[in-house]
Structure 1
């Protein structure tokens, strides 16, 4: 940089000629259906069921009227505990129409977690699948039923009670008479809670409708698009970036299966001629590694979104080259910000898409601050990423103290993520503040080392963590998944591969080869759990 050139600060705001939407979710859906009544709204590949926008609104209005008949109204909490299926989506829009607050419940929860969420949010009605994978939802619901003061009704999908609720004769007059504000809370999503109980991020119509809309805008969605929504609906990736991005543009929501399976995802793209495919990096890795990958016709794909965790450069290149997703976007965000704060654009270079998470979204602000002083750092310097704007949650449900820990007096959401912004406003995530490894006084960012390990010919996936060390305070450990047929990889061999290419303090001391990483249901790697396991394995407790 020229010595006379002014130092730019790490702050950017997203300008747009497209205004924010002032609608509620229900009004926006009705508007879309009036424009595209006969186009596909929802397709469930497993059952072959499909709804046009006219049919979808009719199903939503029937369930919404059923909810009113059941005594559910504005501000009441309705829990949904189910995998990805059409009823989840219909319930999402029906609760929005009556002003009830939908509480997303993780399909992996066990009884004690279910009970906590039911009580913490005061759920009056629980809509639940009967079972999923090894989970018996009926038994768990029966176990907690008597311990939840607010819970009045449990309605299981595929039951006479559900049919009666969902098939109620729609009453447009009653539905149109409900007075709702776009700023009303409409959704509670519980963050993963890696320490202690999860917190309920409370989101409004305005939060999630606009976030879905602008994500779709940057993906170039129109009524001609068909979006394969692989991530779970209970998370923002599925219900906001998937469902709301689609319905705000007249695009089709395509549900490949109840839970992620690489084969069914690829088959759904082929059968439904999907133009967009969603997933976290581990999902794309599994799809690219599918033994029959070459037999699927993916020529309809144009775009898609990869988000949820950092995207390895090699994976992104293959997604573009082998899957034809030339306009694929990287999105970054968190549940508390509805979720997307930054996104790459369709015309961004490959380098931008593999090395950054894009630029700030329309009508949003981002800055990178020194975590100690709180001051915005110059471009190119690492710090904590903060975001502000329409997307920031209303707060954690009935936890003002926890809200105050992350949203400051100026309404900036402090993400806890380490990031760097370049002079053009592109943001690179370098890790979590708590994931940063300090080895012998040197700050080490695991993401940098993980990216390098992907260049090893035998490594399919890699994660780097810090483990305790008497001499250096922390030492590096690499967990790796190897390609099928690859020879055994020793710590010595990996260190030899790194020597001369990484600074000595960045070379992992320990290596563990695994078949899979500890993951959340949304496909995020649980580094907290990895560190716990590593300490026991290495005898470092």
Structure 2
């Protein structure tokens, strides 16, 4: 009898995994490419070669040792994209401290939660960013800081925090400036740092990243050198990055897209990290590509949409661009076509993953047919395994059937920090990370994400996947961006609502016209009954749409019962 292939693949490669720590990898790259530009922070007027960059990293690493930071201690970083963020990333890796990434959008309540969950003893913080006054929030959380000598804090609400480094040039009560902090490096020799670095193991935990919070309380995914160094390496390998490549990184460093796929992708290949600004601004990104003759660019689809919509888009020379990554959420086919053409990113790749898997599990390749690049998230990454299972019984489903995507391999996190119960829920006894994403796998092993298990809408017994409807609505010329979710309905259990952002250059449309546009083209039960026209969507700082907030807002505005 003929057997349908199961939805399982493993990524093969002739390129072996890197068996080293992050610090050792940086040293090797700096030795190999000392005069290649490593880091360009345009908003801070910083331009360092690998030789200069590793000197700055070693200086900060020695300073961390000087203030008493030891292997396994947690060091928090709460800042937008700045050179100090990256220096701290590599300096903590060299001393074996666990870097805890704190979301720049957090308020004082979330800061309290993150600080205490991870047990942060040293916090490196920006002074402020956009509307966030970080210094005020730190003082609110630890009022004892104002009267404390720097490095000698004893605070009731954050008992493990003892030192704060503020990236502001001005001096503030109880805090060291960055300049004061790195000044302590003179108390520790390079030989002492080398000895500490030499004792570290690549399976040591080195990073805690909080899940993005599209649902519930963030959990602290605990990642090793081996997890994130290799993931950054293979994401960049797929793009064929070399020491001649120059990558513009407008995505947040606090997120794995920035610090792993960006920073670690570059330092494993001798490529250049370029930061256009503290936060995302489409104009500064285009300017950075133009000015720095960038060959690669990262972003989530909403960023590329904003760049393409920039009024003076045509004035920027993007001819040097070749590749890059689009990730973070599903990319509409129409946007992908414009990025290929108007932005010259003919080799742009789609990557899919999650914080808990370092992050990337699957990726398209520049050799994939166009249709696969715009409809799938590619195939399983090297040295990883993927399977798609029936959420009900856990059995692997046949190719083409929808189920939950699971990942296994070097990329799977160690655990959720101080949360054994959630760790057991996420990683099963066979080592598979359960993603919560619904997907299909075709005969060639390409994977298509059809939605979140939590996003699936059940209308009158029919399973509806919002992504499919969004892809169709994107073909309407008046629609710039669209998101579909479910809301309660007395008759069908759930009904669909589409949040629509209109293209400013197109003629306006109504909900009735959009319903008419759908008729006969998609099944009647998939046509959204309700439409809400918006200028923006509720999002996490990394650009992920928060559909649960869309649902809550729609329920409240329409006076529905939950």
The normalised TM-score by structure 2 is 0.95
Which residue is equivalent to 1:136? 133
The 3-state SS of whatever aligns with 1:131 is coil
Q: Distance in 1 between matches of 2:309 and 2:506?
A: 14
CA RMSD between the two structures: 0.9
Deviations 1:243-294 (A, max 9, x none): 0000000000000110000000000001111110000000000000000001
Deviations 1:419-450 (A, max 9, x none): 00001100000000010011111111100000
Which residue is equivalent to 2:550? 530
The 3-state SS of whatever aligns with 2:412 is coil
Counterpart selection for 2:494 from 455, 474, 483: 474
The 3-state SS of whatever aligns with 1:132 is coil
Counterpart selection for 1:156 from 166, 178, 189: 166
Q: Distance in 1 between matches of 2:307 and 2:221?
A: 31
Which residue is equivalent to 1:117? 114
Deviations 1:387-432 (A, max 9, x none): 0000000000010111001100001000000000001100000000
Q: For 1:259-274, list aligned pairs within 5 A.
A: 259-274=279-294
Is 1:177 aligned with 2:187? no
Q: Distance in 2 between matches of 1:120 and 1:193?
A: 15
Counterpart selection for 1:13 from 10, 35, 38: 10
Unpaired runs of 5+ residues, structure 1, are none
Unpaired runs of 5+ residues, structure 2, are 143-154
Which residue is equivalent to 1:325? 345
Counterpart selection for 2:304 from 280, 284, 297: 284
Q: Distance in 2 between matches of 1:16 and 1:485?
A: 47
Q: For 1:123-522, list aligned pairs within 5 A.
A: 123-145=120-142, 146=155, 147-159=157-169, 161=176, 162-167=178-183, 168-169=185-186, 171-178=189-196, 179-522=199-542
Could you tell me how far 1:489 is from its partner in structure 2?
A: 2.4
CA contact (8 A) 1:83 1:232 kept: yes
Which residue is equivalent to 2:19? 22
The 3-state SS of whatever aligns with 1:323 is coil
CA contact (8 A) 1:62 1:171 kept: no
Which residue is equivalent to 1:45? 42
Could you tell me how far 1:357 is from its partner in structure 2?
A: 0.1
CA contact (8 A) 1:190 1:200 kept: yes
The 3-state SS of whatever aligns with 2:43 is coil
Q: Distance in 2 between matches of 1:115 and 1:519?
A: 22
Q: Distance in 2 between matches of 1:185 and 1:175?
A: 19
CA contact (8 A) 1:9 1:378 kept: yes
CA contact (8 A) 1:436 1:443 kept: yes
The normalised TM-score by structure 1 is 0.98
Give every structure 1 segment of 4 or more consecutive aligned residues whose post-TM-superposition deviation is greater than 6 Å: none
Deviations 1:112-144 (A, max 9, x none): 110111111000000000010111111100111
CA contact (8 A) 1:235 1:522 kept: yes
Could you tell me how far 1:485 is from its partner in structure 2?
A: 4.0
